[in-house]
């Protein structure tokens, strides 16, 4: 995966308010971490999904893990902590995109 600016995902499905409201209740949340740690992981999950259409998360997880250290911006999360948030964003991206397909 190429290095991207993860400040603004291009896919309209990214909903920062949704993640900001729910990240502390997620099962992967690590005590002592904050929004600035998790936000890059959610953005990365959306961008990664756009970059890997038609593939399953598990099929590209090793590559995502390798790229995370280069793409995490100021996040303190290692891949083991970020994985859940990236996967959540990947799935949420699919859920929203699937809903949009069904509305047309």
> What is the residue extent of each domain of the chain?
16-103
Report residue 104 as tokens.
């047309």
Report residue 41 as tokens.
């992981």
Task: Give the single-character DSSP code of 2.
Answer: -
Rounded to whole angstroms, the Cα distance separating 46 from 9 reads: 7
- The pLDDT profile of the chain, 104 residues, written as one tens digit per residue, is 444 444 444 445 578 999 999 999 999 999 999 999 999 999 999 999 999 999 999 999 999 999 999 999 999 999 999 999 999 999 998 888 775 543 33
Residue 79 pLDDT: 98
């Amino acid at each position: 995966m190429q290095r991207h600016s993860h400040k603004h995902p291009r896919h309209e499905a990214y909903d920062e308010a949704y993640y900001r409201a729910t990240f502390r209740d997620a099962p992967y949340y690590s005590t002592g971490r904050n929004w600035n740690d998790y936000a890059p992981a959610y953005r990365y999950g959306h961008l990664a999904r756009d970059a890997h259409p038609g593939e399953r998360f598990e099929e590209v997880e090793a590559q995502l893990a390798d790229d995370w250290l280069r793409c995490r911006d100021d996040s303190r999360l290692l891949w083991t902590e970020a994985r859940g948030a990236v996967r959540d964003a990947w799935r949420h991206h699919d859920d929203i995109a699937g809903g949009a397909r069904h509305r047309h």
